[in-house]
A and B are shown apart, each in its own frame.
Chain A
Amino acid sequence: MATAVQHYTSYKARPFTREQRDTTTILFGGLTWKHERLVQGVFNNLNYKAKPLPNITRADLDAGKELIDVGACCPTIFTTGSLVNFLKTEVAENGKQKTLDDYVFLTAGACGPCRFGQYHESYEMALDGMGLKDFRLFLLAQDQLDQAPEKGGGLEINMPLSLGIVWAILCGDMLTDMEYQTRPYEVNPGETDRVMKESADYLFEVFQKRPIKGKKWGLLAWHFLSSYFADALRVVRKKFDAIEVDRLQVKPKIKITGEFWLQTHEGDGNYNIKHWLEQEGSEVLPPPVAVWLGYLLHTPIWRLQKKAVVDRKVKTKIAMVRGMEKLYVGTYNRFRKALGNVPYELPDQEELKNLASPFFHYELRGGEGHMLVGKALHAHLHKHANMTCELSPYSCMPNTMSQGAMANVQGRYPELLYAPIEIKGDAEVHALSRCQMILTEAKKRAQSEYVEAMARTGMTVEKIRRIEEKRPALKKATYRIPHMGYASTAANYVMHLAGAKAAV
């Protein structure tokens, strides 16, 4: 039979062997620099060389567009472009073969119905386009902690690695929450960023030195029970203690939601919108990655409950997942406590589901599923934010659907301030001016909350300053302001100082 025709086959990564481990650097990305720094610590802890890709820039968008099929969503283009630009520089500096030998790229995969599960197809196309088809790319399924060793054994996706990454993410969330609650109110500009850098470096070391106690269940138990990480976070708390804040500055609180990559990202990929919002006089409520992990952890319960027959076996499985979830949330809360409970609690997944249910079915998958609707309502009804800013890539399949459903939500809750921002990557002015319009209203709301709180409590600025003088701890970044029924921090602060009852 003739064999002249070679049928098309897709990319298959050549092996990354155990022997190559010492000379090969694992590249990764997709989170904030803080999370990535800690994840790097985890890799080093397990004797891998690892390095996050440089933070995303506009140039990555152009590089990505050049090499993948038209019409991709901007997270795909940015992340592909980022890898492309890194490799281009490496090839230019060290040559093709050395680049192929020295690096592998690890990316998260998903078996979801949207493009997120297909990002790697774009990476592969880009590698092909660059003439680097031999570059090694591996997928890390985000819903499995223990996966079969990748071909060659160079990278073992096992419990020590996966647990390390999850714990690094939780600690990264803690840092991020502290950062965004502190910086808008810092008295000495730049102090928060400096402390953040110090804290991330410190935690990097902590992860790098993590003791590996046990293999599977033993290791899992150690992670849940040991005080190793909470102690480290207490050290971080001390660093934040030194930052002086003035929480009487009236700022609207803006909750960020949206497509996973865009909402997490801090940089050109989302027009640096979190930074921009702060510059515009807001306090940003950043989205913890832990909420997504919590969703992944919780959804099996819904699937199990839907089984045709819910027998003892299924019930046991449900109980096991619930147990795991309790430990997970418990760990998060332990970390929060180590930081004086300043970082926010995780929302209850059942509540998010119930809030979203009339508008968006909780089993619909892709992107953040029903959570975008649930989170916006959660923030609004609990008065956790004055406005929700939802970041969606242009043409994002799941987000366009839930955004449509938000029209229904807004019909029923006209008071909910919702700013869906479409991100293309190169239309900054349009996106930010759209956000600005809704932000103006959020500012007004924060101001009236403050005025109302002052009026209700009879407080004045002078009185508050006097109290602060007597109680200097109030001016520490680690002093927790309890939620007193208002969204904005200043109004809650006033209520708290007056010893008033919660507003609602």
Chain B
Amino acid sequence: MQTWFGKKASGGSPPPSPRKDRSGLRVGIPKVLNVWSTSQFWVGFLRDLGIESENIVFSSDTSEEQGREFGKGRGTVDCCYPVKSISGHYGELIFGQKKKINIILSPMIYSLPSFMRGHVSETLACTRVMAGPENIKAGFMKESDVFADNGIKYASPFLSMAEPEVVPKQMYDCLKDIFGVDLAECEHAVEAGYRELRAFNKKMRDASREIMAWCARENKPCVLVLGRPYHMDPGIGHEIESDLQAHGYPIVWLQYLPIDDDLMNWIFGEEIKAKKIRSALDISDVWTSSNSSNTNEILWGAKVAARFPWITCVLRLSSYECGMDQPTYTPTQKIVEAAGTLFFKFGDLDSTKPAGSIRIRIETIVHYLAKYSDQIIQKKLVLLPPDCPLLAGKEKTLAAVASNEK
């Protein structure tokens, strides 16, 4: 099983011998925001520069205790919790390590290497995702430079991760003095980072495909989570989906939905033929301003959920005061519900897990899932061509599934 923040190389070319010995450097990365969708890039990048795996330190999952212990008094503004919580992560890396960190690496991720690139206008990060580090840094510098006071170098490269060709230079500009790297080393390391990230994403997509294929074979429902990557953080998303999983419903996250051609053609092929959309990853039919990467993916995930028969329920997660999600509430719900897929929104998620209300709502969801899933699967099946690629190789055809149900 892949873990999000695993630090073992997934293959590919071995790292070159770095020009400088960096084996003693310990690098801390706040595990926040879009680091959740790019973590393996960072692992690949740093390992390639000669940083030992054990010296790549991701901060812990977000928690209220972390914020209380390490981030108190550091916040400068009131905003969404995924950003506010970053102070605790910084503080933990500065004050909460047994073995001292030498460098804090907190990227300003301007754009993302989304799988939807080329099919949408832009794949920008939320403005708070990109600027969050500047905001949080201020809380650690307003009175004195806490990083320097603790012998830590602070590195915050501005990165257009959607454009791999400019990333080495961006890295180099920021890290040349801190890591003592040259441009060629950065180029090599950036390439290694992207390779790691691609490999990881592929594994995760394959894993989701397996789950979805199992659902198709067994004719069982699964649940899709529509949220931002950092809702995978137990302190941000509050593990709502796990509570549902405990009731036996497989969970897939939109970020790792399979995008293989066969499956995409099955789901969207008719609409492409009818020229309603240009490609399976085109969302112009439902969303005009396709600028924000995570938003684009959420809308696309909603479209998949509306069409893929065995996704019978969507869990929409959204953080309190999230300005990016706000205009999407109604459209995503309308997209999902058009063909009868169940839609449940957990909005305004903040620092405290509303355990009681989550429990009650999970019971409701389980009830609806049990009652309506078969009906929903049937309703959506008849809208798609008969040859589901997830059932290929099996004698059981979709028609058979349908007639069995009857």
Q: Is B166's beta carbon under 8 Å from chain A?
A: yes
Q: Would B327 and A121 count as touching, CB distance under 8 A?
A: yes
Known A9-B285, A306-B169, A395-B79; contact A400-B135, beta-carbon cutoff 8 A:
yes
Q: In whole angstroms, how far apart are the Cα atoms of A127 and B84 in the complex?
A: 35
Q: What residue in chain A is nearest B75 (Cβ atoms)?
A: A404
Q: Could you tell me which residues of chain A, from 42 to 76, have a CB within 8 Å of some CB in chain B?
A: 68-73, 76
Are A405 and B125 in contact, with the CB atoms below 8 A? no
Do A121 and B331 touch across chains, with their CB atoms under 8 A apart? yes
Stretch among B64-72, B126-134, B236-244, B387-395 lining the A interface: B126-134
Query: Which residues from B are CB-within-8-Å of A401?
Result: 77, 79, 83, 127-128, 131-132, 134-135
| Residue A8 lies at the interface, judged by CB distance under 8 Å to chain B | yes
Given A395-B323, A404-B138; A10-B110 close (CB under 8 Å): no
For residue A215, CB closer than 8 A to chain B, the reply is no
**Interface SS of A by simple majority:** loop
Interchain CA distance A220-B213 in the complex, whole Å: 60
CB <8 Å contact, B321 and A363: no
Judge whether A115 and B327 touch: CB under 8 Å: yes
Task: Answer whether A360 and B329 are a contact pair too, CB < 8 Å, given A111-B122, A120-B289, A407-B139.
Answer: no
B124 interface contact, C-beta 8 A:
yes
Query: Which of the residues A8, A109, A308 comes within 8 Å of B286, measured between beta carbons?
Result: A8
Residues A407 and B285 in contact in the complex (CB < 8 Å), given A6-B338, A366-B131, A397-B126: no
A117 at the interface (CB under 8 A from B): yes
**Is the CB–CB distance between B382 and A364 below 8 Å?**
no
Set of chain B residues within 8 Å of A479, measured between Cβ atoms: none
Give the residue of A5, A113, A403, A410 whose beta carbon is less than 8 angstroms from that of B126: A113
> For the complex, what is the distance from the CA of A360 to the CA of B126, rounded to whole Å?
16
In the complex, the answer to whether B285 meets A10 with C-beta atoms within 8 Å is yes
Instruction: State the Cβ distance, A463 to closest chain B Cβ, in Å.
Output: 46
Q: Which of A2, A113, A306 contacts B292 (CB 8 A)?
A: A113
Contact residues of B between 77 and 98, Cβ < 8 Å to A = 77-79, 83
**Is A233 positioned at the interface, with any CB of B under 8 Å from its CB?**
no
Beyond A10-B288, A306-B169, is A404–B139 a contact (Cβ under 8 Å)? yes
A residues sitting closer than 8 Å to B (CB atoms) are 1-3, 5-11, 68-73, 76, 109, 111-115, 117-118, 120-122, 125, 139, 306-308, 359-361, 363-367, 395-398, 400-408, 410-411
25 CB contacts below 8 A, A to B, read A3-B383, A5-B383, A7-B303, A7-B338, A10-B286, A10-B287, A72-B326, A76-B327, A113-B122, A113-B127, A115-B323, A118-B289, A121-B287, A125-B330, A361-B108, A364-B134, A365-B110, A365-B124, A365-B127, A397-B79, A397-B126, A397-B127, A401-B131, A405-B76, A407-B138
**Partner-A contacts on B (CB < 8 A):** 76-79, 83, 108, 110, 121-122, 124-128, 130-132, 134-139, 141-143, 156, 158, 165-166, 168-170, 270-271, 276, 285-289, 291-292, 303, 306-307, 321-324, 326-331, 334-335, 338-340, 379, 382-385
A308-B168, A404-B139 given; 14 more Cβ-contact pairs under 8 Å: A7-B271, A7-B335, A69-B327, A71-B322, A111-B291, A114-B323, A364-B108, A364-B110, A365-B130, A402-B131, A404-B79, A407-B139, A408-B141, A411-B141
5 shortest interchain CB distances as A-B pairs: A366-B127, A404-B135, A408-B138, A401-B131, A404-B76
